Structure 1
Amino acid sequence: MSKFDYSEHQGGPLLESLLVLCRMHDRPLSRQSALAGLPLENGLLSPATFDRAAKRAGLISSVAEQPLSKLNATLLPAVLLLKENSACVLISLDKKSKNAQVIYPELSDAIVDVPLDDLLPLYTGHAIYVQPEFKFDSRAPQIKKLRERHWFWSVIGENRRLYRDVLLAAVMINMFAVAMPLFVMNVYDRVVPNHATDTLWVLAAGIFVVLTADLILRLMRSWFVDLGASRADIKLSANIMERVLGMKMENRPASAGSFAANVQGFESVRQFIGSITVVALVDLPFVLLFATVIALIGLPLVFPIIIGALLVLIYAMTAQGKMHSLSEVSMRAGSQRNATLVESLSNLETLKSFNAESKVQNIWEKSTVFLSRTGAQMRLISSSISNGAIWTQHTVAVSIIIIGVYMIIEGDLTQGGLIAAYLLSSRAMAPISQAAGLLAQYHHSATAMTSLNEIMDRPVERPPGKNWISRPVINGDIEFKNVTFQYPDDQRQALNNVSFKIKAGEHIAILGRNGSGKTTLEKLILGLYQPSSGAILLDGVDLRQIDPAELRRNIGYVPQDVSLFFGTLRDNITTAAPHAEDAEIIRAAEISGLGPFINSHPAGFDMPVGERGQLLSGGQRQSVAVARALINNPPVLLLDEPSGSLDHSSEEQLKQNLTTYSKGKTMVVITHRSSLLTLADRILVIDGGKVMADGPKNDVMEALRQGRVGSAS
């Protein structure tokens, strides 16, 4: 069996196996749709991300660690994980004849008969069962409305077996907690008066066994709780980030800094589901156990515990409303301050250039003072609850001793019984004190959860269950049909009933004043926004039917405002093609005009660019953006002011290179420079969101010179 060629098939054998299964189950899925947004490992789909890719095709999967002979034949076909990062699809398994039918990724859909003796040395012991998910259609009556799986609680529920073990361990630990008070009571009441040292050693041996078991159970409980929290943390963090990156542009937040602060609120939620919280909540019901044991020792001794617990809970509930409002205010103020910080760091050069530091400093300090004051109020209320609970716990203990002394005098209680009741009272009040002390953390986490729910409810570009039309090859025919578009929170229409056609391979320049809607056209072609009305067709298919990942894979886009990322020049050029060959990177760099600059630099493609590309000049950043757009050799080019920061000679070189490179490709150029019009055969003039002129370049230029092209009213 030959080794799989990773360079030609992004995603590797696991993705190829998934695509085979998709064809077998008649669940269409393209390569780009399967991999879009997934954290690949060296460009390969891993078993950890396989399930997320399978769900996009309506398939459910489960990883099983089983010998080949133990695989469930009724659940086939399944994916076998082989050695050397390979995989195959197991179609059938005949244990009697010791033969298997498999499909190797290298052989497309060809079924091969393989002896088990040849397959066993390659099998890693892990298989992935994959089955189509059953879906109801509109004809199936819904007897009871089913609740959708919550993004947070459903993940917590996946670890219910761990929490079941935590609960069992908590039951045993709290049962063992009764042993020490009973040991002390028996020593004082039976061993000491009778000088029964043999009994003492027997009791001591028993309590030592109990204490050892208690230690082991506590360690196991902490391990299980931390394991469950870490599993949930990994999956929830991935889900949140996937939802943030996948949200629609029209639903993006007004402030990146404020939004980031809300996302970081998950940290408080994660801490709340940690070990201390879970242990405290699990121990809370056992207050009844300790109170019952105390009542059996002496009924009057339980009354201080009941009164103390009620006092703590009443005060905690009274403070709940104030804590909730302070938590919300603190969350909002923290988000606003974080927004100020992010905006200041992003525009630090501008602030310094215009001596505007004092204004930002004033906003920051006012936010800090407000946060400090709010935080002090929250800490005061929180400390009053926790310290009040401790005071109540000690008062209960003193009350039990006072009542116990009178009961001893009356002959209704032994000295050992009083000591046992005293020890049990602290165990009874401790969970109540811990639960009351968690109130402040709960409200902060609840506020963060509300914010996260709002984030997770935002519409995404690729909603679950959406079926896309696969267009692996795009010719480049673009048509706008009566398109009207309005940006969110903007009362003006960016485009108003726009209609035009661009033929495959045609080169068109879009002219217009600032704010006329030129850039909006390209953003709509990219599928970043959806038209308010009308339709945009690509090769005769509505863009809303094409997977955004496939669409953008076939479009090379140079934005007006170039954004680079921290890393090397190679990292930024290959943003859309992280595993591009060196020849492809060099070709893109040469066309963009970066070649001489890279060749003269000691680090070459490994030179750092800094955050936002601050180590490069404006022209160099723009050249990187051009190279990034060309790396995939796309059939459609959208260039928004591609030479806006270039000098004359660099612009001329770019024009010559693009003239040669763009032959046979659809190219849309937005520019204010007449020199770039040599790239176009046709000109479209837009003003006020309306098409004012559209025709051959020479005709439109002549009309512009004569003033025959008006402006939108």
Structure 2
Amino acid sequence: MFQKKSTVKSAWGKLRSGFFAIGFFSMILNLLMLAGPLYMLQVYDRVLTSQNMDTLIALSILLGGVFLVTGLLDLIRMRILSRLGARFELEIGAPILQASIRRRVQGKASGDNPAADVNGMRDFISGPTLVAFFDAPWIPLYLGVLYVLHPYLGALGLAGALFLTIMALINNARSADVMQDAAQARARSDSLFTSSEQNAELVHAMGMTGDLARRWTALQHNAHHLKSRVSDRLASFSVMSKTTRMALQSGMLGLGAALAVSGQATAGVMIAATIVLARALAPIDQLIGQWRTFLAARGSYKTLRALSETYPEPPKRLALPRPQISLNANIAQAGPPLAQNATIGGIEFALSAGDVLAVIGHSGSGKSTLAKMLAGIWTPQRGAIRLDGTPMAKWDPEELGQLVGYLPQDVHLFDGTIRENIARFSTSIDDGKVLAAAVAADVHGLISSLPDGYATEIGNGFHLSGGQRQRIALARALYDDPFILVLDEPNSDLDAQGEAALRNAIRGASARGAVTFVMTHRPSTLEAVNKVLTLNKGMQTGFGDKEDILRPRQQGTPVAQTAAAQLAAWRSQKPALKGAAQ
């Protein structure tokens, strides 16, 4: 197994130098914040007693300059945090997406939302919550200043800060688990909402709108119940802390007044102490107000770190030469990664470059599972698929992907132009290869007829029919002349013209030396193959030349007999289509 390496932890570590800069600016800012109390101390104890306007003007100008510098430093600090948040997002965004894809390929779906977690971490880093954490270490400085003004004032400030800190820790212990449960419940309701919206036509056609809405409402009720528990606890603590803080400030003012009356302090000390206490408690107050943001960010960090460690980037493998000769399969047992039992087995065949193999079988016989094995998506639990003698599992996933053209049953095109979709969003698109793939899939004319041609944006209200999407996806599979071409029910949405284009594309790939697999039950597609493999309940029941496997005979398998009869009927009933295809 790959060595567990946390991209998230590494990205956080790279922010250390930026955090040192933030810490330095926070130190300067907190030192400058003492200018206000010192100003009040001088005004009450010197200016009012001496009635010296020059001193007052000088102190006021000096304080104004300090405030100007303070504002400038605070602006710089916030800008640095904003850039650190963006840097963190860019650092982990692509690795998290890749880890999410690897998790999905391995069949492990989750209710979390990595994209939202990444955005949440960015907002946390660039927001006011982190500023409060950098200001919190300077609380002892303000408490020390209070102690210098008078030990009693320092003791009151220390007691108040300790009380609020202990209450914050207790609140964290009581709210963290419920906060995580609320986030998971909300993720489940959001997932149902998204899937319902994505499958709106199915939901509408089958009258599921009301039931799904009720189901979503029930999930929302559960999420809101948990969220209300968190909100109630945080609100109670917020009110308690606010009341405590107001009482402390009033108490500090009263204690300062008592000390002034007894001659142990001055009026300036009384006012300055109140200001210093307010500054000492400000970070605690900010943390209390932003505690929910902190809990959410901590949960996001744990989720993202676990994802990056559980599904790390595989180590770089030796670059192997492009296969050109053969593909051999020997699958004793295979199935989805999390399946408790094998769904296919006993499969063994050998193909040479240019061979076209049709995999036929009833629904549920394992055709799609075998397709995913051949495309390198899943790996057999026992056995191997070899390219020119080298197991497919030994190839680097990115390099193997360049050798594979895959057209799944459920066709998806991504947001972007048709050109980008056909080129698989390559960073260096070869327009000649894009055009060749479109011509091979016989979709060049269709694309050229669009107002923006190959620059047409998929999505944004632009609609393509199922057949059009399937033919563009076929061009994507044919891009850059892959050695392995896996087509899973490739003609499910195609008309007669599209099926003819599909057969021509299969023949063209064969002529270029590709090994092509067609999972199909349509006789029109069988016309373009030269090998046939039959599956029944996940087991191979036949393999060989098409003429041998599909020859009508009593001893043939039911699947082969049915396919042979369908192919004979198609040839007799569609002579014009057959002639056009040939």
Q: 2 CA distance for matches of 1:605 and 1:493?
A: 43
Deviation at 1:627, TM superposition (A): 2.0
Give the structure 1 partner of residue 272 of structure 2.
420
Deviation at 1:577, TM superposition (A): 5.7
Higher relative contact order (CA 8 A, sep 6+): 2
Q: Is the 8 A contact 1:263 1:452 kept in 2?
A: no
- Output aligned runs, 1:251-330, within 5 Å: 251-253=107-109, 258-259=111-112, 261-330=113-182
State yes or no: 1:213 paired with 2:213. no
- Output aligned runs, 1:473-622, within 5 Å: 473-575=322-424, 584-598=433-447, 601-607=450-456, 609-610=458-459, 615-622=463-470
Q: Compared with structure 1, are the counterparts of its residues 148 and 194 closer, same or farther at alpha carbon in structure 2 (3 Å cutoff)?
A: farther
Q: 2 CA distance for matches of 1:291 and 1:633?
A: 72
Q: Give the counterpart letter for 1:685 in structure 2.
A: T
Q: C-alpha offsets along residues 332-352 of structure 1, whole Å, 9 cap, x if unaligned?
A: 111111111221122110111
Q: Is the 8 A contact 1:683 1:697 kept in 2?
A: yes
- Output aligned runs, 1:216-255, within 5 Å: 216-247=72-103, 249-253=105-109
Q: 1:635 aligns with which of 462, 479, 483?
A: 483
TM-score of the pair, normalised by structure 1: 0.72
Q: C-alpha offsets along residues 588-609 of structure 1, whole Å, 9 cap, x if unaligned?
A: 3343233554455555444555
Q: 1 CA distance for matches of 2:61 and 2:469?
A: 76
State yes or no: 1:463 paired with 2:314. yes
- Secondary structure of 2:345's counterpart equals strand
- Secondary structure of 1:510's counterpart equals strand
Q: 1 CA distance for matches of 2:364 and 2:258?
A: 88
Q: Compared with structure 1, are the counterparts of its residues 300 and 158 closer, same or farther at alpha carbon in structure 2 (3 Å cutoff)?
A: same
- Secondary structure of 2:414's counterpart equals coil
Q: Is the 8 A contact 1:312 1:388 kept in 2?
A: no
Deviation at 1:489, TM superposition (A): 3.6
Deviation at 1:566, TM superposition (A): 3.6
Q: Is the 8 A contact 1:476 1:665 kept in 2?
A: no
- Secondary structure of 1:463's counterpart equals coil
Q: C-alpha offsets along residues 450-495 of structure 1, whole Å, 9 cap, x if unaligned?
A: 22223212335x513x323322x32151111243112134333122
Q: Is the 8 A contact 1:568 1:605 kept in 2?
A: yes
Q: 1 CA distance for matches of 2:252 and 2:496?
A: 92
Deviation at 1:661, TM superposition (A): 4.8
State yes or no: 1:439 paired with 2:295. no
State yes or no: 1:350 paired with 2:198. no
Q: Is the 8 A contact 2:156 2:252 kept in 1?
A: yes
Give the structure 2 partner of residue 658 of structure 1.
506
Q: Give the counterpart letter for 1:543 in structure 2.
A: M
Q: Compared with structure 1, are the counterparts of its residues 598 and 170 closer, same or farther at alpha carbon in structure 2 (3 Å cutoff)?
A: closer
Q: Compared with structure 1, are the counterparts of its residues 287 and 332 closer, same or farther at alpha carbon in structure 2 (3 Å cutoff)?
A: same
- Output aligned runs, 1:70-469, within 5 Å: 150-247=6-103, 249-253=105-109, 258-259=111-112, 261-460=113-312, 462-464=313-315, 466-469=316-319
Q: Is the 8 A contact 2:361 2:367 kept in 1?
A: yes
Q: Compared with structure 1, are the counterparts of its residues 546 and 282 closer, same or farther at alpha carbon in structure 2 (3 Å cutoff)?
A: same
Deviation at 1:358, TM superposition (A): 0.2
Q: 2 CA distance for matches of 1:414 and 1:372?
A: 53
Q: 1 CA distance for matches of 2:275 and 2:135?
A: 16
Deviation at 1:539, TM superposition (A): 0.7
Q: 2 CA distance for matches of 1:270 and 1:463?
A: 26
Deviation at 1:672, TM superposition (A): 0.7
Q: Compared with structure 1, are the counterparts of its residues 148 and 633 closer, same or farther at alpha carbon in structure 2 (3 Å cutoff)?
A: closer
Tell which deviates more after alignment, 441-450 or 206-215. Answer: 206-215
Q: 1 CA distance for matches of 2:171 and 2:487?
A: 59
Q: C-alpha offsets along residues 301-335 of structure 1, whole Å, 9 cap, x if unaligned?
A: 22322222232223222222331122112111111
Q: 1 CA distance for matches of 2:65 and 2:426?
A: 62
Q: Give the counterpart letter for 2:318 in structure 1.
A: W
Q: Compared with structure 1, are the counterparts of its residues 435 and 338 closer, same or farther at alpha carbon in structure 2 (3 Å cutoff)?
A: same
Q: Compared with structure 1, are the counterparts of its residues 602 and 311 closer, same or farther at alpha carbon in structure 2 (3 Å cutoff)?
A: closer
Q: Give the counterpart letter for 1:622 in structure 2.
A: Q
Q: Is the 8 A contact 2:8 2:308 kept in 1?
A: no
Q: Is the 8 A contact 1:476 1:666 kept in 2?
A: no
Deviation at 1:273, TM superposition (A): 2.1
Q: Compared with structure 1, are the counterparts of its residues 197 and 601 closer, same or farther at alpha carbon in structure 2 (3 Å cutoff)?
A: closer
Deviation at 1:283, TM superposition (A): 1.5
Q: Is the 8 A contact 1:510 1:685 kept in 2?
A: yes
Q: Is the 8 A contact 1:577 1:632 kept in 2?
A: no
Deviation at 1:586, TM superposition (A): 4.2
Q: 2 CA distance for matches of 1:192 and 1:657?
A: 95
Q: Compared with structure 1, are the counterparts of its residues 198 and 253 closer, same or farther at alpha carbon in structure 2 (3 Å cutoff)?
A: same
Q: Compared with structure 1, are the counterparts of its residues 615 and 226 closer, same or farther at alpha carbon in structure 2 (3 Å cutoff)?
A: closer
Q: Compared with structure 1, are the counterparts of its residues 609 and 403 closer, same or farther at alpha carbon in structure 2 (3 Å cutoff)?
A: closer
Q: Compared with structure 1, are the counterparts of its residues 622 and 170 closer, same or farther at alpha carbon in structure 2 (3 Å cutoff)?
A: closer
TM-score of the pair, normalised by structure 2: 0.88
- Secondary structure of 1:448's counterpart equals helix
Q: Give the counterpart letter for 1:398 in structure 2.
A: S
Give the structure 2 partner of residue 91 of structure 1.
none
Give the structure 1 partner of residue 577 of structure 2.
none
Deviation at 1:708, TM superposition (A): 3.7
Q: Is the 8 A contact 2:81 2:127 kept in 1?
A: yes
- Secondary structure of 2:106's counterpart equals helix
Deviation at 1:568, TM superposition (A): 4.3
Q: Is the 8 A contact 1:308 1:396 kept in 2?
A: yes
Q: Is the 8 A contact 2:176 2:295 kept in 1?
A: yes
Q: Compared with structure 1, are the counterparts of its residues 281 and 674 closer, same or farther at alpha carbon in structure 2 (3 Å cutoff)?
A: same
Give the structure 2 partner of residue 144 of structure 1.
none
Say which structure is richer in helix: 2
Deviation at 1:265, TM superposition (A): 2.1
Q: 1 CA distance for matches of 2:427 and 2:62?
A: 64
Deviation at 1:248, TM superposition (A): 6.4
Q: C-alpha offsets along residues 76-109 of structure 1, whole Å, 9 cap, x if unaligned?
A: xxxxxxxxxxxxxxxxxxxxxxxxxxxxxxxxxx
Q: Give the counterpart letter for 1:338 in structure 2.
A: D
Note the aligned Cα RMSD (angstroms).
2.7
- Secondary structure of 2:7's counterpart equals coil
Q: Compared with structure 1, are the counterparts of its residues 660 and 184 closer, same or farther at alpha carbon in structure 2 (3 Å cutoff)?
A: closer
Identity of aligned residues (%): 27
Q: C-alpha offsets along residues 401-421 of structure 1, whole Å, 9 cap, x if unaligned?
A: 222222222211111111111
Which consecutive unaligned segments of at least 5 residues does structure 2 have?
560-582
Q: Compared with structure 1, are the counterparts of its residues 614 and 685 closer, same or farther at alpha carbon in structure 2 (3 Å cutoff)?
A: farther
Q: 1 CA distance for matches of 2:94 and 2:520?
A: 40
Q: 1 CA distance for matches of 2:367 and 2:42?
A: 89
- Output aligned runs, 1:5-24, within 5 Å: none
Deviation at 1:151, TM superposition (A): 2.5
Q: Give the counterpart letter for 1:162 in structure 2.
A: G
Q: 1 CA distance for matches of 2:272 and 2:20?
A: 30
